[in-house]
Amino acid sequence: MGRVLERFAGRVALVTGAGHGIGAATARRLHAEGAAVVLADVDLAAAEAVAAGLDEGREDEREDSRATAVACDITDPTSVDAAVADAVRRHGRLDALVNVAGGARPHPGVVDGMTDDDWAGTVDLNLAGPMRVVRAAAPHLSRRGGAIVLVGSVNGLQAFGDEAYSAAKAGLSSLAQNLAVRLGPDRVRINVVAPGTVRTRVWDGQGGADVMAPLYPLGRVGEPEDIAAAVAFLASDDGAWVTGVTLPVDGGVLAGPSAALGRLGR
Protein backbone atom coordinates (compact mmCIF):
# COMPACT_ATOMS: atom_id res chain seq x y z
CA MET A 1 0.00 0.00 0.00
CA GLY A 2 3.04 2.26 0.21
CA ARG A 3 3.04 5.19 2.61
CA VAL A 4 0.33 4.76 5.22
CA LEU A 5 -2.17 7.62 5.19
CA GLU A 6 -4.41 8.55 8.10
CA ARG A 7 -7.37 9.94 6.22
CA PHE A 8 -9.83 8.23 8.57
CA ALA A 9 -8.30 8.98 11.96
CA GLY A 10 -11.09 9.54 14.47
CA ARG A 11 -13.76 8.31 12.05
CA VAL A 12 -16.06 5.32 12.13
CA ALA A 13 -16.81 3.15 9.10
CA LEU A 14 -19.32 0.35 8.63
CA VAL A 15 -18.39 -2.17 5.92
CA THR A 16 -20.89 -4.83 4.85
CA GLY A 17 -19.65 -8.04 3.29
CA ALA A 18 -16.47 -7.55 5.31
CA GLY A 19 -15.81 -11.21 6.02
CA HIS A 20 -14.29 -12.01 2.64
CA GLY A 21 -12.70 -10.62 -0.50
CA ILE A 22 -13.28 -6.98 -1.37
CA GLY A 23 -15.11 -6.30 1.89
CA ALA A 24 -12.28 -7.68 4.00
CA ALA A 25 -9.68 -5.75 1.99
CA THR A 26 -11.72 -2.56 2.40
CA ALA A 27 -12.01 -3.03 6.15
CA ARG A 28 -8.25 -3.54 6.35
CA ARG A 29 -7.56 -0.44 4.26
CA LEU A 30 -9.83 1.86 6.25
CA HIS A 31 -8.49 0.47 9.52
CA ALA A 32 -4.89 0.98 8.36
CA GLU A 33 -5.77 4.61 7.64
CA GLY A 34 -7.04 5.15 11.16
CA ALA A 35 -10.74 4.29 11.09
CA ALA A 36 -12.66 2.41 13.71
CA VAL A 37 -14.26 -0.25 11.53
CA VAL A 38 -17.39 -2.30 12.13
CA LEU A 39 -17.23 -5.38 9.93
CA ALA A 40 -20.71 -6.61 9.05
CA ASP A 41 -21.37 -9.90 7.32
CA VAL A 42 -23.97 -12.65 7.16
CA ASP A 43 -20.97 -14.91 7.89
CA LEU A 44 -20.27 -13.55 11.36
CA ALA A 45 -17.42 -15.98 12.06
CA ALA A 46 -15.55 -14.76 8.97
CA ALA A 47 -16.05 -11.11 9.94
CA GLU A 48 -14.84 -11.86 13.46
CA ALA A 49 -11.73 -13.52 12.09
CA VAL A 50 -10.89 -10.49 9.94
CA ALA A 51 -11.53 -8.15 12.87
CA ALA A 52 -9.30 -10.24 15.15
CA GLY A 53 -6.50 -9.99 12.60
CA LEU A 54 -6.78 -6.21 12.60
CA ASP A 55 -6.70 -6.08 16.38
CA GLU A 56 -3.43 -8.02 16.41
CA GLY A 57 -1.74 -4.83 15.26
CA ARG A 58 -2.63 -2.88 18.39
CA GLU A 59 0.49 -1.60 20.11
CA ASP A 60 -1.23 -1.36 23.49
CA GLU A 61 -3.65 -4.12 24.47
CA ARG A 62 -5.35 -1.65 26.79
CA GLU A 63 -6.51 0.41 23.84
CA ASP A 64 -10.11 0.04 22.78
CA SER A 65 -10.53 -2.14 19.74
CA ARG A 66 -10.92 -0.28 16.46
CA ALA A 67 -12.22 -3.41 14.72
CA THR A 68 -15.41 -5.18 15.71
CA ALA A 69 -17.76 -7.56 13.92
CA VAL A 70 -21.52 -7.75 13.72
CA ALA A 71 -23.93 -10.09 11.95
CA CYS A 72 -25.77 -8.51 9.04
CA ASP A 73 -27.99 -9.95 6.33
CA ILE A 74 -28.77 -7.14 3.90
CA THR A 75 -31.87 -8.97 2.66
CA ASP A 76 -33.39 -8.65 6.15
CA PRO A 77 -34.40 -5.09 7.19
CA THR A 78 -34.36 -5.99 10.88
CA SER A 79 -30.82 -7.35 10.61
CA VAL A 80 -29.65 -4.24 8.74
CA ASP A 81 -31.19 -1.85 11.25
CA ALA A 82 -29.63 -3.78 14.13
CA ALA A 83 -26.16 -3.75 12.55
CA VAL A 84 -26.22 0.01 11.97
CA ALA A 85 -27.56 0.63 15.47
CA ASP A 86 -24.80 -1.56 16.90
CA ALA A 87 -22.12 0.43 15.07
CA VAL A 88 -23.49 3.74 16.34
CA ARG A 89 -23.94 2.41 19.87
CA ARG A 90 -20.34 1.18 20.00
CA HIS A 91 -18.75 4.35 18.68
CA GLY A 92 -21.30 7.13 19.10
CA ARG A 93 -21.11 8.15 15.45
CA LEU A 94 -20.90 6.94 11.87
CA ASP A 95 -18.84 8.67 9.19
CA ALA A 96 -18.61 6.22 6.30
CA LEU A 97 -20.67 3.37 4.93
CA VAL A 98 -19.32 0.90 2.39
CA ASN A 99 -21.72 -1.70 1.03
CA VAL A 100 -19.86 -4.61 -0.51
CA ALA A 101 -22.40 -7.31 0.30
CA GLY A 102 -24.12 -8.75 -2.75
CA GLY A 103 -23.23 -11.16 -5.52
CA ALA A 104 -24.53 -13.27 -8.34
CA ARG A 105 -26.90 -16.06 -7.40
CA PRO A 106 -27.02 -19.34 -9.32
CA HIS A 107 -30.02 -19.79 -11.59
CA PRO A 108 -30.91 -22.29 -14.32
CA GLY A 109 -30.29 -20.17 -17.41
CA VAL A 110 -30.66 -16.85 -19.15
CA VAL A 111 -33.91 -14.91 -19.23
CA ASP A 112 -36.06 -17.75 -20.56
CA GLY A 113 -34.84 -20.08 -17.80
CA MET A 114 -35.15 -17.63 -14.93
CA THR A 115 -38.14 -17.73 -12.59
CA ASP A 116 -39.66 -14.69 -10.93
CA ASP A 117 -38.15 -15.88 -7.65
CA ASP A 118 -34.67 -16.13 -9.22
CA TRP A 119 -34.97 -12.60 -10.54
CA ALA A 120 -36.45 -11.13 -7.37
CA GLY A 121 -33.87 -12.77 -5.14
CA THR A 122 -30.94 -11.46 -7.16
CA VAL A 123 -32.32 -7.94 -7.40
CA ASP A 124 -33.17 -7.94 -3.71
CA LEU A 125 -29.62 -8.91 -2.75
CA ASN A 126 -27.88 -6.49 -5.09
CA LEU A 127 -30.16 -3.45 -5.26
CA ALA A 128 -32.78 -3.45 -2.52
CA GLY A 129 -30.23 -4.73 0.01
CA PRO A 130 -27.79 -1.86 -0.47
CA MET A 131 -30.70 0.58 -0.28
CA ARG A 132 -31.72 -0.90 3.07
CA VAL A 133 -28.25 -0.27 4.41
CA VAL A 134 -28.20 3.29 3.07
CA ARG A 135 -31.63 3.98 4.52
CA ALA A 136 -30.54 2.82 7.96
CA ALA A 137 -27.19 4.64 7.92
CA ALA A 138 -28.03 7.96 6.25
CA PRO A 139 -29.64 9.64 9.29
CA HIS A 140 -26.45 9.04 11.29
CA LEU A 141 -24.14 10.14 8.49
CA SER A 142 -26.03 13.39 8.00
CA ARG A 143 -25.26 14.61 11.52
CA ARG A 144 -21.69 15.51 10.52
CA GLY A 145 -21.62 14.84 6.82
CA GLY A 146 -20.39 11.51 5.60
CA ALA A 147 -19.63 9.24 2.68
CA ILE A 148 -21.35 6.22 1.20
CA VAL A 149 -19.67 3.91 -1.30
CA LEU A 150 -21.59 1.12 -2.99
CA VAL A 151 -19.72 -1.67 -4.75
CA GLY A 152 -21.29 -2.35 -8.12
CA SER A 153 -19.80 -4.09 -11.16
CA VAL A 154 -18.78 -3.49 -14.75
CA ASN A 155 -21.77 -5.74 -15.45
CA GLY A 156 -23.91 -2.72 -14.66
CA LEU A 157 -22.16 -0.65 -17.33
CA GLN A 158 -21.81 -3.02 -20.28
CA ALA A 159 -23.27 -6.34 -21.42
CA PHE A 160 -21.42 -9.22 -19.80
CA GLY A 161 -24.38 -11.54 -19.25
CA ASP A 162 -26.16 -12.60 -16.04
CA GLU A 163 -29.13 -10.35 -16.70
CA ALA A 164 -30.62 -10.11 -13.21
CA TYR A 165 -27.29 -9.41 -11.53
CA SER A 166 -26.29 -6.92 -14.21
CA ALA A 167 -29.60 -5.08 -14.07
CA ALA A 168 -29.36 -4.79 -10.30
CA LYS A 169 -25.82 -3.45 -10.46
CA ALA A 170 -26.89 -0.94 -13.12
CA GLY A 171 -29.59 0.19 -10.73
CA LEU A 172 -26.95 1.15 -8.16
CA SER A 173 -25.66 3.88 -10.48
CA SER A 174 -29.12 5.42 -10.79
CA LEU A 175 -29.64 5.06 -7.06
CA ALA A 176 -26.38 6.87 -6.35
CA GLN A 177 -27.23 9.73 -8.70
CA ASN A 178 -30.64 10.26 -7.16
CA LEU A 179 -29.41 9.99 -3.58
CA ALA A 180 -26.50 12.32 -4.32
CA VAL A 181 -29.07 15.01 -5.06
CA ARG A 182 -31.29 14.15 -2.12
CA LEU A 183 -28.53 13.74 0.48
CA GLY A 184 -26.19 16.46 -0.78
CA PRO A 185 -27.77 19.24 1.32
CA ASP A 186 -26.98 17.10 4.39
CA ARG A 187 -23.33 16.92 3.25
CA VAL A 188 -23.61 13.20 2.56
CA ARG A 189 -21.86 11.97 -0.57
CA ILE A 190 -22.66 8.68 -2.34
CA ASN A 191 -20.71 7.00 -5.11
CA VAL A 192 -20.34 3.60 -6.76
CA VAL A 193 -17.18 1.62 -7.51
CA ALA A 194 -17.62 -0.78 -10.44
CA PRO A 195 -14.97 -3.54 -10.37
CA GLY A 196 -14.04 -5.82 -13.21
CA THR A 197 -12.89 -9.37 -12.51
CA VAL A 198 -11.33 -9.53 -9.05
CA ARG A 199 -9.47 -12.43 -7.49
CA THR A 200 -11.98 -13.57 -4.87
CA ARG A 201 -13.50 -16.86 -3.72
CA VAL A 202 -16.23 -16.44 -6.37
CA TRP A 203 -13.74 -17.89 -8.86
CA ASP A 204 -12.97 -20.99 -6.79
CA GLY A 205 -13.93 -24.02 -8.85
CA GLN A 206 -14.09 -21.98 -12.06
CA GLY A 207 -10.45 -22.25 -12.98
CA GLY A 208 -9.48 -19.23 -10.93
CA ALA A 209 -9.84 -15.56 -11.79
CA ASP A 210 -6.68 -15.57 -13.89
CA VAL A 211 -8.50 -17.30 -16.74
CA MET A 212 -10.00 -13.85 -17.41
CA ALA A 213 -6.66 -12.02 -17.48
CA PRO A 214 -6.27 -12.08 -21.31
CA LEU A 215 -9.41 -9.94 -21.61
CA TYR A 216 -7.84 -7.09 -19.67
CA PRO A 217 -5.66 -4.45 -21.36
CA LEU A 218 -3.48 -4.26 -18.23
CA GLY A 219 -2.86 -7.98 -18.51
CA ARG A 220 -4.14 -9.04 -15.10
CA VAL A 221 -7.29 -9.33 -13.07
CA GLY A 222 -7.88 -7.11 -10.09
CA GLU A 223 -6.96 -7.78 -6.51
CA PRO A 224 -9.32 -6.94 -3.64
CA GLU A 225 -6.84 -4.29 -2.57
CA ASP A 226 -7.25 -2.50 -5.93
CA ILE A 227 -10.92 -1.98 -5.18
CA ALA A 228 -10.29 -1.09 -1.54
CA ALA A 229 -7.94 1.70 -2.64
CA ALA A 230 -10.64 3.25 -4.83
CA VAL A 231 -13.21 2.92 -2.07
CA ALA A 232 -10.87 4.64 0.39
CA PHE A 233 -10.42 7.56 -2.01
CA LEU A 234 -14.16 8.06 -2.48
CA ALA A 235 -14.89 7.70 1.24
CA SER A 236 -12.15 10.11 2.30
CA ASP A 237 -11.86 13.87 2.15
CA ASP A 238 -9.76 13.43 -1.00
CA GLY A 239 -13.10 12.76 -2.70
CA ALA A 240 -14.86 15.64 -0.98
CA TRP A 241 -16.24 17.10 -4.22
CA VAL A 242 -17.19 13.79 -5.82
CA THR A 243 -20.74 12.51 -5.52
CA GLY A 244 -23.22 10.66 -7.69
CA VAL A 245 -20.57 9.01 -9.87
CA THR A 246 -19.81 5.43 -10.85
CA LEU A 247 -16.07 4.81 -10.99
CA PRO A 248 -14.95 1.76 -13.01
CA VAL A 249 -11.95 0.03 -11.46
CA ASP A 250 -11.55 -2.51 -14.21
CA GLY A 251 -8.07 -2.85 -15.66
CA GLY A 252 -9.33 -1.22 -18.83
CA VAL A 253 -11.87 -3.86 -19.84
CA LEU A 254 -14.51 -1.20 -20.55
CA ALA A 255 -12.10 0.77 -22.75
CA GLY A 256 -13.18 -1.27 -25.77
CA PRO A 257 -12.87 -4.67 -27.42
CA SER A 258 -9.88 -3.78 -29.57
CA ALA A 259 -7.42 -3.77 -26.69
CA ALA A 260 -8.88 -6.94 -25.16
CA LEU A 261 -9.05 -8.80 -28.46
CA GLY A 262 -5.50 -7.73 -29.22
CA ARG A 263 -4.32 -9.62 -26.17
CA LEU A 264 -6.17 -12.68 -27.40
CA GLY A 265 -4.35 -12.47 -30.73
CA ARG A 266 -7.49 -11.75 -32.78
CA distances from 42 to 26, 72, 121, 231, 244 (A): 17, 5, 16, 21, 28
Question: Would you call 38 helix, strand, or coil by DSSP?
Answer: strand
State yes or no: is 216 an active-site residue.
no
CA distance 23 to 231: 10
Burial of 230 (0-12, 13-18, 19+ CB in 10 A): buried
Q: Reduced to 3 DSSP states, what percent helix, strand and coil does the chain have, rounded to the nearest 5?
A: 50, 15, 35
Burial of 128 (0-12, 13-18, 19+ CB in 10 A): middle
Interacting residues of 28 by C-beta distance below 8 A, sequence separation 6+: 50, 54, 228
CA distance 222 to 220: 7
Q: Which of 122, 165, 191, 194 is catalytic?
A: 165
Query: Which residues are part of the catalytic machinery?
Result: 165
